[in-house]
Amino acid sequence: MKNLKKATKVDFATYLGVTVSFVIMYILQTGGHLSSSIAGQLVPICCFIVMAVSLNLVVGISGELSLGHAGFMSVGAFGGIIAAQSLAGAVPFAPLRLTIAIVVGALCAVIIGFVVGVPVLRLRGDYLAIVTLAFGQIIKDLINCLLVGYDSHGLHIMFNISGLKSINDLHLEETGKAIIKGAQGAVGITKISSFPAGFILVMLALVIVLNLIRSRSGRAIMAIRDNRIAAESVGLNITKYKLMAFVLSAAMAGAAGALYGLNYGSLVASRFDFNTSILVLVYVVLGGLGNIWGSIIATVVLYMLPEALRQFSNYRMLVYAIVLILVMLATNNDQLKALLRRIIPTRKEADAQ
């Protein structure tokens, strides 16, 4: 019971920290006190927090290495853009259209998550890393072949596998508009993402992941990570729980992708390449595997840092590396944690013993 309370306290602090940060930033933003470069990063940061929290579910909680998380973000982004752009007339109220787009993005990612996860997660052994790596690459190439437009007859979708077709081959009406133009990516997007929407998505992701972890299903997922054979011996269905973590994580990445995509006027698929997947993985590892608030802190610090370090010009990468190490020590290192605990004694630690 004590542990439950302690966990609940940590979760509560996480929710509170996120909410307070949001309120402060929102007040600054609406008051026009933020530089345009920082204001422009608020939505992407929310998206990447959701990405890191969801990847932590797979890598930290479920113990599987995924190298293609950006692929799900991509699926969600383009799925969400198609939904939002084609519903522009039918659903004029932007927040509702954004919500629909996010749901569509998440659903697209869920479908792809099953397609990738079902064959791989039934196998024993670390095949997920290599398959997700390939998936991230393939999805990018597939979207580069995609031609999508919308007119009064509805959606027109074409796969330009030969590379010879262009958006004109969709034969859109005069009033129709192109949504995705192959390698040029999505164009003419109406920007409907907002910082409050980002905050809500972050909170939703946190509620889902934290509540799942502290439940029967979450314990099963962690038990499988800790000892697969023992988990089977107590009757757990390994594939079911590995798939649950993986697909849920994909869904959240898809939702984050939709929010991200609708924050820009245009978007190319190469925005979600291998580097992006690795970047999110870095946030997760540095924030601490299985440590959800750690993922949030690492994402915020490391996402803002390159921007904040502009003034150091030549020393930028050096300072970046030092901060990376400090973040890692602060969130991951037991000795440093013990040291911090001695410097800042907390009641929480005292009654945990």
Instruction: Between 109 and 139, name the residue whose CB sits nearer to another protein.
Output: 109
Instruction: Between 167 and 210, name the residue whose CB sits nearer to another protein.
Output: 210
- Contact stretch for another protein (CB under 8 A) within 13-21, 65-73, 184-192, 230-238: 230-238
Q: Which residues, other chains included, contact 189 with Cβ-Cβ below 8 Å and sequence gap of 6+?
A: 81, 84, 85, 261, 262, 264, 265, 266, 267
- Contact stretch for another protein (CB under 8 A) within 47-55, 74-82, 219-227, 254-262: 219-227
Q: Which residues, other chains included, contact 39 with Cβ-Cβ below 8 Å and sequence gap of 6+?
A: 29
**Window 199-218: residues binding another protein (CB under 8 A):** 207-208, 211-212, 214-218
Instruction: Between 102 and 180, name the residue whose CB sits nearer to another protein.
Output: 102
Instruction: Between 30 and 215, name the residue whose CB sits nearer to another protein.
Output: 215
Among 244, 262, 284, 301, indicate the residue that binds another protein (CB under 8 A). 244
- Contact stretch for another protein (CB under 8 A) within 32-40, 95-103, 234-242, 278-286: 234-242
Q: 298, 272, 281: which is closest to 128 by C-alpha? A: 281
Sign of the Cα pseudo-torsion (202, 223, 286, 253, in order): negative
DSSP letter string, 177-245 = EEEEEGGG-B-S------HHHHHHHHHHHHHHHHHHHTSHHHHHHHHHHH-HHHHHHTT--HHHHHHHH
Among 10, 65, 187, 223, indicate the residue that binds another protein (CB under 8 A). 223
Binding residues for another protein, total number by CB under 8 A: 30
* CA distance linking residue 353 with residue 348, whole number of Å: 9
* CA distance linking residue 149 with residue 276, whole number of Å: 27
Among 10, 65, 238, 319, indicate the residue that binds another protein (CB under 8 A). 238
Residue type, 342: R
Instruction: Between 244 and 269, name the residue whose CB sits nearer to another protein.
Output: 244
Instruction: Between 170 and 251, name the residue whose CB sits nearer to another protein.
Output: 251
Among 8, 30, 190, 227, indicate the residue that binds another protein (CB under 8 A). 227
Among 13, 96, 230, 322, indicate the residue that binds another protein (CB under 8 A). 230
Smallest separation (angstroms) from another protein to the CB of 175? 43
Residue type, 173: E
* CA distance linking residue 133 with residue 138, whole number of Å: 9
64: three-class secondary structure by DSSP: coil
DSSP H/E element including 158? strand 154-159
- Contact stretch for another protein (CB under 8 A) within 85-93, 153-161, 163-171, 225-233: 225-233
Radius of gyration (Cα) for the chain, nearest Å?
A: 21
Among 38, 236, 278, 308, indicate the residue that binds another protein (CB under 8 A). 236
Smallest separation (angstroms) from another protein to the CB of 293? 18
Number of CB atoms found within 10 A of residue 171's CB: 12
Please tell me whether residue 90 binds another protein under the rule CB under 8 A: no
Which residues lie near another protein (CB under 8 A)? 1-3, 207-208, 211-212, 214-220, 222-223, 226-227, 229-238, 244, 352
